[in-house]
Structure 1
Amino acid sequence: MRTPQAAALTALALLAAACGGASGTGRPAGGGGTFTYVLPSDPGVLDPAAAVLNVTITTLSLAYDTLVGVSKDGKIVPALAEKWEVAPDKVTFTLRKGATCADGTPVKPSDVAESVGHIADPATKSPIYGVLVPSGMKAEADEAAGTVTLSMPKPFSFILESARMIFVVCGKGLKDRSLLARATSGSGPYKLTEAVPGDHYTFKVRREYTWGQAGATAKDVPETVVMKVVPNEQTAANLLVAGSVNGATIYGPDRARLEAVPGMGKRIEPVSNGEFFYHQGDDRPASDPAVRKALTQAIDLKELAGIASGGTGKPVTGLVLHPRPCQGDSVTGHVPAHDPAAAAAALDAAGWRAGPDGVRVKDGKRLTLRYLYATTRGAGTQAAAEYLAAAWRKAGAEVKLNGQIDTKLSESLNTTQDWDVVWLPIGVTLPSQVTGFLSGPAAPKGANFAHLSNDRYESLVAEAGKVPAAEGCPRWLEAESALFEAADLVPVVEITVLQASRNATYEQNAGLFVPTSIRLTS
């Protein structure tokens, strides 16, 4: 069985899981017209089996259906599948009748099975296998019954919930995947008609679409949707103010300006958790739990949260983003509290004593922390790095900051392992999506990049995975708390964005458009 590759971790850090949408003013203008949405970067290759970036997933969600959707409160709702039967190790979906691919061919259970099988095929080397598609998942179609069954080698809590992120490829693209680099071949309400990489992607509506999430149709949506690539966020904000575009996701300082514009649709949504991990390799200072807890106690996490998010974040209450399948707070009361005096005493007790220059030393080795972070995450990440460095230096550590671009950071995490602490925002929608990164074989042999070994976490995850999600949720939440209590990773802040709209309304769930929700307003 293939396991997730460690290289997929950086993809997880880029995969935002925004939910909700943006509201506008005025009355719906009905079907017709053009809705233009800003993408901060080019979505790249459009094959769903290669889609890990948020911009790619958002773009593809216009043209591809999933078997099920998710409501704002985290409940699973019908989409391409009208009903399902769940067992501990499998789920059987009955597809809606009448659903067609963009080329007019009927959507068949075998299309779903082939979509899943392609991702799971070792030859494909799909980066979403083991993340969005669970490792070991198989799919079997029954054309006569109109059903497809997704199964796992053993009981799996989120066998149903996993289907909400699997795009179903059908028609010509299923037979020739090379067509999907710059085209779409799905059963969604829109079809890609023009792709100009680095500039724009144009989609045209399929008015015959009647099988959307919870039975939604394409009757009243815009005729055309343009995904416009605008890398500069200030430019995107200016286009919104001018009414040249209808929607955008804003991360930075332009949020405040847009929120003050009369008539601007606006909603604040969470997209990822700001958090840092300690490297627990045998030769690292943080392999000692007392050191990890002391370093965490040296930090005022509330102050750090404000710095990292520019004051726009929310208190983090869990490892998984909204809408969560498991409701609850796994963070509060489970993270070592800010106490510099206790931190100093703990480091003394662990044998790390202050040297002549103030840097703590043990057995002739200095307490050196190499702090790794991505330079592409904005000014907040840089400011957070500087704040942490100052706090840890005050506690007696020598801190070396190492900002890197995403691709280099991935290499550092997975191959060279030249780090002691890393700031790594992760956006996932299911707690099962990160177990391979928080346990199991350590990098470079496995995906466990921080060399974590938390027996309580692993035991609770094993128990939770054997029962349906609702029954296993208390254990999943307790497992997260076990990580925080041991300072294996330290949750800091829930990063939020502004979903802004102008003369339009739309909804997104888990980073996916609900295309049938798009409306132009007047």
Structure 2
Amino acid sequence: MSGSPLSRVRVVTAALVLPLLLTTAACAAAGGDPAADAGPPRPGGTLRLGISSNPDCVDPQQYGTNAALNVGRQLVDSLTDQDPKTGEIKPWLARKWDVNADSTAFTFQLREGVTFSDGAPLDAAAVKANFDGIKALGAKAQLASGYLAAYQASTVLDPHTVRVEFGAPSAQFLQASSTMSLGLLSPAAYRKTPDQRCQGDGLIGSGPFVFRSFRQNQEIVLAKRAGYTWGSSLFRHQGEAYLDQIDYKIVPEPGVRTGGLASGQLDAITDVQPVDEPQFAANGFTEPVRPNPGVVFNLHANTTRGVLTDEKVRQAVVKGINRPEVTSTVLTGNYRPATSILGSATPLHADLSAQLAYDPNGASALLEGAGWQPGPDGIRTKGGQRLTATVQFSPVFNQNRSVLELVQQQLRKIGFDLRIDQRTTAETVQAQQSGDYDYIWYNVTRADPDILRGIFSTKASNRSKLPAGNPLDAALDDQASTVDAAKRRPAVELTQKLIVEHGYAVPVFELTQVLAVGPQAHAVDFEASSRLQLFDTWVSGA
């Protein structure tokens, strides 16, 4: 479960769609050796995939939840693709591209012969229709609107060449062009309303699968696109997808998902909970794992509220959290302690492990130096004010409360009272937009460091409520001005250091995607933003 709690839908607790087994003992019945050679990939068959929440909308240009994007990735192609291992941008629908000196204009030369599933050509005019259409969605485009924030226009230079122009430096757009949020739909799709597209009506892409049906809170069905021959340069094979069909079963209850996989009623499941991981360590099962790039789970401070106006207090909180204890006690070895505000899988991540080391003595010294003295109950006070702040969170990741309760215990040891306030996702969104919070708890997935600009810049959401013209603003603008990684790196590293040094946000742990895959399913894989890529997936016995 990735993505910000400010952009993710609530977990649906609808009636179960399968008579799945709740017992975990069925794991042993699965049998098999995960190392056994299943032979070469073979076409055909259906992948039965258990997912943890209902995607209220399946249009990838609109919704930013994992549930939506794990579907949308299979329906739409992108101009580029991103190597999950290196972060490098690779060709897909665009054979090549040029970027001007200040990263305000991107010119793409498109592959020829690509069509949408309604037969319309995927040409420069279609690209223009998409970016104009996404821009018109405004806030409905939860992720894409940020990617196109400074978008001005697309110009068709010839049938297979398009120039995309921005009103300000936008180096992040090259990576954004690889995401499913900017995946391309047929121009005919824009004759449908956004709400119609959310339910799959008119959701016509050029991808390796086509939309078949969506039953809310039950299942989504996709079918193979016949004649598909324009896969990404990163795909393991070319031509059509192997699977005939993908059947997403919506199963919110973790125990029911694990039981369904163990009993053979599902071929793979998403969002395996830490307590359930040991079930799938053997017996023919595999556990694909990938940490999420982007902003890690963190306590994000409103620097204009209460005790958090004191920088020494914010710095003490950074030192007062034992991150390895969080991952080893509440989570599992698949989860990593945060080493920066950006996850380690994010391009240009800076290792700030030393600055994030557990140092309760250092935290206490900072607080005492700032005049915060221990009170009778162990919580520090200053001038009659208690050292306390509230963190608001929504349970979009099942372990959020357990993590925060442990952090609460750790901070009490330095005399800081962290109060925990669980809200619905809608309430958390409202609080974030109004600035009515001390700390907010969230993560955001994106395989580009520019995600920090959208959150911390005073020209964007400015969740820390910083004054304009601060040094962080300048660093965020600098990193947005060039696609050259070598030139960009110093500014990106500086942004991470400033955020940690000033305690604008307190990184805690990296979210990880943990799947469980049964012995009949193969090559269930992740793309660069840790969403599912199922083009190369196949099933035995098809």
Q: Is TM-score (shorter-chain normalized) higher than 0.5?
A: yes
1:275 to 267, 290, 298: 298
Amino acid at match of 1:288: D
**Residue 387, structure 1, aligned to residue 387, structure 2:** no
Are the structure 2 counterparts of residues 64 and 151 from structure 1 closer, same or farther at C-alpha, using a change threshold of 3 Å? Answer: same
Q: Which residue of structure 2 aligns with residue 56 of structure 1?
A: 68
CA contact (8 A) 1:218 1:516 kept: no
**Residue 466, structure 1, aligned to residue 481, structure 2:** yes
1:147-158 → structure 2 map (5 Å cutoff): 147-158=161-172
SS in 2 for 1:140: strand
Q: Which residue of structure 2 aligns with residue 476 of structure 1?
A: 492
Are the structure 2 counterparts of residues 24 and 473 from structure 1 closer, same or farther at C-alpha, using a change threshold of 3 Å? Answer: farther
Q: Which residue of structure 1 aligns with residue 509 of structure 2?
A: 493
Q: Which residue of structure 2 aligns with residue 520 of structure 1?
A: 539
SS in 2 for 1:516: coil
**Residue 247, structure 1, aligned to residue 264, structure 2:** no
Counterparts of 2:287 and 2:281 in 1: how far apart (Å)?
7
Report the CA distance between 1:220 and its aligned residue: 5.2
Amino acid at match of 2:46: T
1:424-435 → structure 2 map (5 Å cutoff): 424-435=442-453
2:423 to 404, 411, 425: 404
Report the CA distance between 1:322 and its aligned residue: 6.3
**Residue 109, structure 1, aligned to residue 129, structure 2:** no
Are the structure 2 counterparts of residues 126 and 488 from structure 1 closer, same or farther at C-alpha, using a change threshold of 3 Å? Answer: same
Unmatched tracts of structure 1, length 5 or more: 1-7, 16-21
2:199 to 182, 205, 208: 182
**Residue 66, structure 1, aligned to residue 66, structure 2:** no
Amino acid at match of 1:329: A
2:46 to 21, 29, 34: 34
Number of corresponding residues: 498
**Residue 235, structure 1, aligned to residue 256, structure 2:** yes
Q: Which residue of structure 1 aligns with residue 384 of structure 2?
A: 364
CA contact (8 A) 2:8 2:425 kept: no
Are the structure 2 counterparts of residues 332 and 322 from structure 1 closer, same or farther at C-alpha, using a change threshold of 3 Å? Answer: closer
2:91 to 78, 81, 87: 78
Which digits, 9 at most, give the CA deviation of each residue in 1:359-391, with x for residues without a partner?
33223322222122223421x322222222223
Q: Which residue of structure 1 aligns with residue 173 of structure 2?
A: 159
SS in 1 for 2:444: coil
**Residue 312, structure 1, aligned to residue 334, structure 2:** yes
Report the CA distance between 1:341 and its aligned residue: 2.8
Report the CA distance between 1:122 and its aligned residue: 6.4
Are the structure 2 counterparts of residues 480 and 389 from structure 1 closer, same or farther at C-alpha, using a change threshold of 3 Å? Answer: same
Counterparts of 2:539 and 2:450 in 1: how far apart (Å)?
38
Which digits, 9 at most, give the CA deviation of each residue in 1:464-505, with x for residues without a partner?
222224121232122112211222212222222322222122
SS in 1 for 2:61: helix
TM-score of the pair, normalised by structure 2: 0.85
Q: Which residue of structure 2 aligns with residue 10 of structure 1?
A: 5
Amino acid at match of 1:427: T
**Residue 332, structure 1, aligned to residue 353, structure 2:** yes
Runs of 4+ in 1 over 6 A off after TM superposition: none
Which digits, 9 at most, give the CA deviation of each residue in 1:65-101, with x for residues without a partner?
1111112322211112122122222211111111111
SS in 2 for 1:32: coil
CA contact (8 A) 1:158 1:469 kept: no
TM-score of the pair, normalised by structure 1: 0.88
CA contact (8 A) 1:289 1:486 kept: yes
Counterparts of 2:71 and 2:344 in 1: how far apart (Å)?
20
Amino acid at match of 1:455: N
Are the structure 2 counterparts of residues 342 and 371 from structure 1 closer, same or farther at C-alpha, using a change threshold of 3 Å? Answer: same
Q: Which residue of structure 2 aligns with residue 19 of structure 1?
A: none
Counterparts of 1:162 and 1:455 in 2: how far apart (Å)?
26
Counterparts of 2:380 and 2:71 in 1: how far apart (Å)?
50
Identity %: 21
Report the CA distance between 1:27 and its aligned residue: 2.0
Q: Which residue of structure 2 aligns with residue 202 of structure 1?
A: 221
Counterparts of 1:488 and 1:409 in 2: how far apart (Å)?
19
Q: Which residue of structure 1 aligns with residue 367 of structure 2?
A: 347
Counterparts of 1:306 and 1:278 in 2: how far apart (Å)?
25
Report the CA distance between 1:148 and its aligned residue: 1.8
SS in 1 for 2:450: helix
Counterparts of 2:412 and 2:215 in 1: how far apart (Å)?
49
**Residue 43, structure 1, aligned to residue 62, structure 2:** no
Report the CA distance between 1:195 and its aligned residue: 1.6
CA contact (8 A) 1:305 1:492 kept: no
Unmatched tracts of structure 2, length 5 or more: 11-33
Are the structure 2 counterparts of residues 357 and 44 from structure 1 closer, same or farther at C-alpha, using a change threshold of 3 Å? Answer: closer
Counterparts of 1:289 and 1:25 in 2: how far apart (Å)?
57
Counterparts of 2:505 and 2:8 in 1: how far apart (Å)?
14
Counterparts of 2:104 and 2:135 in 1: how far apart (Å)?
17
Counterparts of 1:512 and 1:302 in 2: how far apart (Å)?
26
